[in-house]
Chains A and B, each alone.
Chain A
Amino acid sequence: MRLRFLLLLWALPVWAHHDAAVTIAELTEQIARSPALPELYYQRGVEEYSTQQLPAARADFELALKLRPDYLPAKRYLAMITNLEGHPERALEVLQEAIRQAPQEHQFLMPSCHQLEAELLVQLKRFSPALTAVKLALDTPVPALETLRLQAQILRELGQDEAALNSLKEAWLKTRAVILRNEWFDTLIELGRGEEALPLIQEELENTRFRSSWLIRRARIFLQQKRSAEAQADLQAAIDELTPRLAVTPPPALLLCDRGLAFALLGQITPAEQDLAAARQLGVSETSCRLLVASLRR
């Protein structure tokens, strides 16, 4: 995880620096004139954070907190930085203290604070409290789709597979968000219950212009059912559809993840790893390449 973060730092585009430098310089001037405004240190800290100048960002968030100890926005970033520095336990302490001391005016930030709390707890593999935190993050009229997915992930870590499936299905039925439905399909397949999703997957295959992601889902079910030839045919068809779409520079990162997964399921590890590396270089999220990573681990 730490190595991945360092790689991420290294890969950060240089362009981000220049603008932040200008904004930081302006904020520095303003701070010189108005040194008692915590917002100015906070704003400068955010700019520094966004360009990965973590020591400077930390210093500014701490200065903001010195001026206003209950300044939740600054504490939230401070917790994140502490984690990025390799101290997740300490980060969690900072965040939880901030949550406890949050003033009324910052209550609107609570869902995102609990989201970060849940993420930190997952990182620490403390899934029960993570579940409590994610439920608090969901205590908002319109919860983030990402939070709903995180809840399912935590439930699965706790071995509550049925609850994970139900949470995804409920969230899908409530929001109709296609990404929650697809997550539900993928979870069903991962749990060896892909046949429940098969009729819907067949329907998608008949009504879809680009069929590769659905061919891969069906192939995963076929593999579980020991129907290797059919699985291989689907996976090869998916690769054949994806390859011309990927013959561009730069290729769409999400499609690289799909093709990498197809390669991995065919046992072609080298091209799968190449696609994963290329997708990561293009900035794809870990959520988006989760299945490919899991497949390569197997």
Chain B
Amino acid sequence: MLPIFRKFLSLTALAVVPWLSSCDKGSATPATPTAAAVAATPTAATPPSAPTTSKTAVTPDTTPKTGISRGPYLQMATTSSINVVWRHRDEPSPIIKWGLTADALEHTAALDKGIVQRRLAAEGASSAQTLPLHSAPAKTKQFEAKLTGLEPDTKYYYAVFDGTKRLTAAGEDYTFRTLPVPGTARPGWFWVAGDGGTGGTIQAAVHTAMANFTKQKNITLDGFLHVGDMAYQSGLDTEFQGRFFNMYGDTMRHTVCWPAMGNHEGKTSKGEAGVGPYYDSFVCPTKGEAGGVASGREAYYSFDFGQIHFVVLDSCQEALAKKQPSLTALGDAMIQWLKADLEKSKAQWLIAYWHHPPYTKGSHDSDIPADYESRITREQFLPLLESAGVDLILSGHSHIYERSMLIDRAHSTPTVAANFVLDDGDGDPKGDGAYTKSAGLNPNEGFVAVVTGNAGTTLKRVGTIPLMKKIILEHGSVLFNVDGDTLNGIMLNKAGEQSDVFTITKQGQVPAKNRIASPKPAPPMPVIRTVKADGAPGESKEKEDKAKSEKEVKEPATGPDQRSRHTAPAGATDLIAPGATWKYLLNGTPGDWHNPAYDDTAWLSGPAGFGYGDDDDVTRVDVKGPQAILRIRHEFTLPAGADPKKLGLLISYDDAFIAYVNGHEVTRSLNIKGNGPTATVGKPHEADDTFEYFPLDAAAAFLVPGKNIIGISGYNDDPKSSDFSLHPQLILAK
């Protein structure tokens, strides 16, 4: 570790001490978190000694002296029970109390009497009462309390204790509500988020926007539906901690999260086995406890809320099964379960969600082979769901918000709209009017598909799915409520504005709708292939604003990390735009490759970003193996009269880089020592779809009129690393 960085670490640690001491008193955090408060939720990150292999230390170690390192948070509710989960680092005497009022917590559960303990297998998870944790920081105990004997649709207060010491505050934060009896006409509000798991400020802002909105409107959430990618990059335990539980903890302590697995969680957790950090984190129905029929697996399940039947599928498993060397149709079990589940449900509303979208042209394209998972969901899931009368399908994976018209049976590839749209209006009661369907569940009366993979990571759009009515490149999330015969959906952006609204009403018997031969799709808009930091010159103000919201330069992290601590200048001009085509070379000994005179004609060409394994790369390059280096080169010309000291580099990288201008090193990431193949990478660094700013004022001495060359070498910290990213943008500040 560089001495200067060590000093930075110690200063940062000092800076958080006062805050820690204030949190240690067990005071309740506000119900509506601020962005900063959310980012710094007083739960713990994994200590350096954690047995996991995470490359990411996303938050500082901020465990308050309560010893609670995660939660408490709510899981699987039924009409008569709920699960409360929390983690502790010490050897507490775990007790949970609950009751109908905050000051009368008359019911108690204790270890082995309603509370199950989990710990790492190596630390004694062998008895019937102590179940294994797949991965966690050393000495972690996870407690799962199942509170039973509850009344349906009833609000309870709860508190977690260590013996007699109360660990959670009193108040509305620590409450839960059981599910209403299936069939009950009970209105409900649900929050849907997808692809948020960066641990960054945008994710926090999206969460805050939802919390502020619900507070202002006096809305109590009845469920938090997550459509996957909650813990980038690989769903490791440390990533779950910093990028999911720390971010959403304030909501999850009073709202049950019903998760669907994303492909990033799928890297470390396997659906059929039910093993991994994802399954450590969640308690999902397997036996039909919350409604629906028993799946036998936490990977896919269903639950009932009043008149709504929710179906949650594992699109990762379904897709992966197709590549397996097996004579048996692995993945068959889920489809057969889905059929059985849909046969049984007598709900008025049917809502299904999973990770991979059946239709998208956001950061993924459901019509191309690379996104074959989308095609599988379209061909395997949709026919059954449509014939069972599905109303709403939610998904993520694609980093965008896209919302369809009222559609049915659009299974073809490429996706076409002609004759698959039943209502091409906007679904807005104040616009073209709500979408209408008959009361109850009726086959093939149409549904609305929503892609909401916009809760935190970089947004992207590659085209237009003709079924879509709204395509919005804004960070945000979806709120919807169902009240009797009406479902209202809202896309709430991170500023708290309602960017889209739509309504479905289900009344009486609606005459069969004509299939529209030429439906009116979303209003035309220029396709933005790669998002901009501050908008390119000449773009409209609206587009500039949109571009700003699409890609934000991450603010310096609150904890000690390897990020650039410089803020990107506003209103800069691109000299080399993001997504530009660079020359690149993997490995080799190219000598003076960063000099202008070097002949790079034998190098390959490809658009940035470069890398593999984290879904943020356009040109795939496997920078793996001992001493692997990716070198990239690009020409640029300094505009006449420009100040050479205003040159700057915006770069998204994983794990380290060194930049050269005209053969001279001008900047490097903080975590690399040495040069060339013998360079060593210290602490790993995640790209997080975030562009960090590095001023290149040092390049001023080497710039020449006319052609200049920038060369960047990218390094991985581990020859077997799961990912690598290198995506530079050269700018000239005003």
Query: A244 near B: Cβ within 8 Å?
Result: yes
Q: Which residue of B lies closest to A51 (CB)?
A: B369
Bound Cα distance from A212 to B339, whole angstroms? 11
Contacts of B337 in A (CB 8 A): 177-179
Bound Cα distance from A108 to B379, whole angstroms? 31
Query: A269 near B: Cβ within 8 Å?
Result: no
The distance from the CB of B539 to the nearest CB of chain A, in whole angstroms, is 31
Bound Cα distance from A182 to B341, whole angstroms? 12
Decide yes or no: A250 and B343 within 8 Å by CB, A142-B274, A179-B333 being known contacts: no
Q: Which residue of B lies closest to A20 (CB)?
A: B369
Report whether B369 and A17 are in contact in the complex, using a CB–CB cutoff of 8 Å: yes
Report whether A16 and B344 are in contact in the complex, using a CB–CB cutoff of 8 Å: no
20 sample A-B contacts, Cβ–Cβ < 8 Å, listed by A number: A15-B368, A30-B621, A116-B327, A119-B326, A123-B327, A141-B273, A142-B272, A144-B273, A144-B330, A179-B296, A179-B340, A180-B296, A209-B343, A210-B342, A213-B340, A245-B387, A248-B383, A248-B386, A251-B387, A285-B329
Which residues between 37 and 64 of chain A lie within 8 Å of chain B, taking CB atoms?
A: 37, 39-40, 46, 49-50
Query: B104 near A: Cβ within 8 Å?
Result: no
Q: Which residue of A lies closest to B326 (CB)?
A: A116
Additional A-B contacts beyond A178-B337, A207-B344 (10; CB < 8 A) = A16-B372, A34-B586, A37-B625, A79-B325, A116-B325, A119-B328, A175-B297, A210-B343, A212-B343, A285-B328
Residue of A116, A209, A246 most packed against chain B (CB within 10 A): A209
Report whether B588 and A178 are in contact in the complex, using a CB–CB cutoff of 8 Å: no
Per a CB cutoff under 8 Å, which of A140, A146, A211 touches B333?
Answer: A146
Report whether B324 and A112 are in contact in the complex, using a CB–CB cutoff of 8 Å: yes
Report whether B296 and A175 are in contact in the complex, using a CB–CB cutoff of 8 Å: yes
Chain B 337-356, CB-CB to A under 8 Å as 1, else 0, gives: 10111111110000000000
The distance from the CB of A205 to the nearest CB of chain B, in whole angstroms, is 11
Query: A249 near B: Cβ within 8 Å?
Result: yes
Query: B54 near A: Cβ within 8 Å?
Result: no
Decide yes or no: A176 and B287 within 8 Å by CB, A115-B328, A142-B274, A285-B332 being known contacts: yes
Contacts of B383 in A (CB 8 A): 248, 250-253
Decide yes or no: A182 and B340 within 8 Å by CB, A145-B333, A255-B387, A288-B329 being known contacts: yes
The distance from the CB of B383 to the nearest CB of chain A, in whole angstroms, is 4
Query: A33 near B: Cβ within 8 Å?
Result: yes
Which residues between 9 and 31 of chain A lie within 8 Å of chain B, taking CB atoms?
A: 13, 15-20, 22-23, 26-27, 29-30
Contacts of A23 in B (CB 8 A): 620
Q: Which residue of A lies closest to B370 (CB)?
A: A19
Query: A133 near B: Cβ within 8 Å?
Result: no
Residue of B297, B346, B387, B443 most packed against chain A (CB within 10 A): B387
Per a CB cutoff under 8 Å, which of A33, A150, A182, A287 touches B587?
Answer: A33
Query: B275 near A: Cβ within 8 Å?
Result: yes
Q: Which residue of A lies closest to B344 (CB)?
A: A208
Decide yes or no: A30 and B275 within 8 Å by CB, A115-B326, A249-B409 being known contacts: no
Bound Cα distance from A283 to B375, whole angstroms? 13
Query: B293 near A: Cβ within 8 Å?
Result: yes
Bound Cα distance from A181 to B336, whole angstroms? 12
Which residues between 107 and 164 of chain A lie within 8 Å of chain B, taking CB atoms?
A: 112, 115-116, 119-120, 123, 140-142, 144-146, 150
Report whether B294 and A178 are in contact in the complex, using a CB–CB cutoff of 8 Å: yes
Report whether A177 and B369 are in contact in the complex, using a CB–CB cutoff of 8 Å: no
Query: B384 near A: Cβ within 8 Å?
Result: yes
Q: How large is the interface on B (under 10, 10 to 19, 20 to 34, 35 or more residues)?
A: 35 or more
Report whether A15 and B413 are in contact in the complex, using a CB–CB cutoff of 8 Å: yes
Report whether A146 and B332 are in contact in the complex, using a CB–CB cutoff of 8 Å: yes
Query: A263 near B: Cβ within 8 Å?
Result: no
Bound Cα distance from A54 to B341, whole angstroms? 38
Report whether B409 and A287 are in contact in the complex, using a CB–CB cutoff of 8 Å: no
Query: B148 near A: Cβ within 8 Å?
Result: no
Report whether B332 and A50 are in contact in the complex, using a CB–CB cutoff of 8 Å: no
> How many contacts A-B (CB < 8 Å)?
172
Query: B323 near A: Cβ within 8 Å?
Result: yes
Chain A 277-291, CB-CB to B under 8 Å as 1, else 0, gives: 000001101111000
Query: A80 near B: Cβ within 8 Å?
Result: yes
Which residues between 244 and 298 of chain A lie within 8 Å of chain B, taking CB atoms?
A: 244-246, 248-255, 282-283, 285-288
Report whether A254 and B335 are in contact in the complex, using a CB–CB cutoff of 8 Å: yes
Bound Cα distance from A181 to B294, whole angstroms? 10
Decide yes or no: A178 and B296 within 8 Å by CB, A23-B620, A141-B275 being known contacts: yes
Bound Cα distance from A249 to B288, whole angstroms? 31
Interface of B is mostly: loop
Contacts of A220 in B (CB 8 A): none
Q: Which residue of A lies closest to B587 (CB)?
A: A33
Query: A76 near B: Cβ within 8 Å?
Result: yes
Contacts of A150 in B (CB 8 A): 328
Contacts of A282 in B (CB 8 A): 379
Contacts of A13 in B (CB 8 A): 413
Q: Which residue of A lies closest to B586 (CB)?
A: A33
Chain A 217-261, CB-CB to B under 8 Å as 1, else 0, gives: 000000000000000000000000000111011111111000000
Query: B441 near A: Cβ within 8 Å?
Result: yes
The distance from the CB of B291 to the nearest CB of chain A, in whole angstroms, is 13
Q: Which residue of B lies closest to A123 (CB)?
A: B327
Decide yes or no: A46 and B323 within 8 Å by CB, A15-B375, A248-B383 being known contacts: yes
Per a CB cutoff under 8 Å, which of A77, A176, A179 touches B336?
Answer: A179
Decide yes or no: A252 and B384 within 8 Å by CB, A33-B588, A142-B273 being known contacts: yes
The distance from the CB of A260 to the nearest CB of chain B, in whole angstroms, is 15
Bound Cα distance from A80 to B330, whole angstroms? 15
Bound Cα distance from A13 to B342, whole angstroms? 28
Bound Cα distance from A65 to B441, whole angstroms? 54
Report whether A49 and B329 are in contact in the complex, using a CB–CB cutoff of 8 Å: no
The distance from the CB of B406 to the nearest CB of chain A, in whole angstroms, is 16
Bound Cα distance from A208 to B342, whole angstroms? 9
Report whether A288 and B332 are in contact in the complex, using a CB–CB cutoff of 8 Å: yes
Which residues between 173 and 191 of chain A lie within 8 Å of chain B, taking CB atoms?
A: 175-182
Contacts of B346 in A (CB 8 A): 209
Decide yes or no: A245 and B443 within 8 Å by CB, A145-B296, A252-B384 being known contacts: yes
Bound Cα distance from A291 to B73, whole angstroms? 45
The distance from the CB of A40 to the nearest CB of chain B, in whole angstroms, is 7
Contacts of A208 in B (CB 8 A): 343-344
Query: B6 near A: Cβ within 8 Å?
Result: no
Bound Cα distance from A33 to B344, whole angstroms? 56
Bound Cα distance from A248 to B621, whole angstroms? 44
The distance from the CB of B278 to the nearest CB of chain A, in whole angstroms, is 13
Query: B444 near A: Cβ within 8 Å?
Result: yes
Q: Which residue of A lies closest to B340 (CB)?
A: A178
The distance from the CB of B604 to the nearest CB of chain A, in whole angstroms, is 7
Q: Pick the 8 closest A-B CB pairs, nearest first.
A: A177-B296, A19-B369, A285-B329, A175-B296, A80-B325, A176-B294, A176-B287, A252-B383
Query: B286 near A: Cβ within 8 Å?
Result: yes
Contacts of B344 in A (CB 8 A): 207-209
Query: B645 near A: Cβ within 8 Å?
Result: no
Which residues between 68 and 121 of chain A lie within 8 Å of chain B, taking CB atoms?
A: 76-77, 79-80, 83, 112, 115-116, 119-120
Bound Cα distance from A73 to B16, whole angstroms? 47
Contacts of A144 in B (CB 8 A): 272-273, 330, 333
The distance from the CB of B218 to the nearest CB of chain A, in whole angstroms, is 35
Query: B411 near A: Cβ within 8 Å?
Result: yes
Query: B322 near A: Cβ within 8 Å?
Result: yes
Per a CB cutoff under 8 Å, which of A16, A26, A146, A253 touches B620?
Answer: A26
Contacts of A146 in B (CB 8 A): 328-330, 332-333
Query: B622 near A: Cβ within 8 Å?
Result: yes
Bound Cα distance from A182 to B586, whole angstroms? 54
Q: Which residue of B lies closest to A254 (CB)?
A: B339
The distance from the CB of A131 to the nearest CB of chain B, in whole angstroms, is 16
Contacts of A251 in B (CB 8 A): 383, 387
Bound Cα distance from A20 to B368, whole angstroms? 11
Bound Cα distance from A124 to B522, whole angstroms? 56
Q: Which residue of B lies closest to A181 (CB)?
A: B294
Per a CB cutoff under 8 Å, which of A39, A248, A288 touches B444?
Answer: A248
Residue of A145, A180, A208 most packed against chain B (CB within 10 A): A145
Report whether A252 and B387 are in contact in the complex, using a CB–CB cutoff of 8 Å: yes
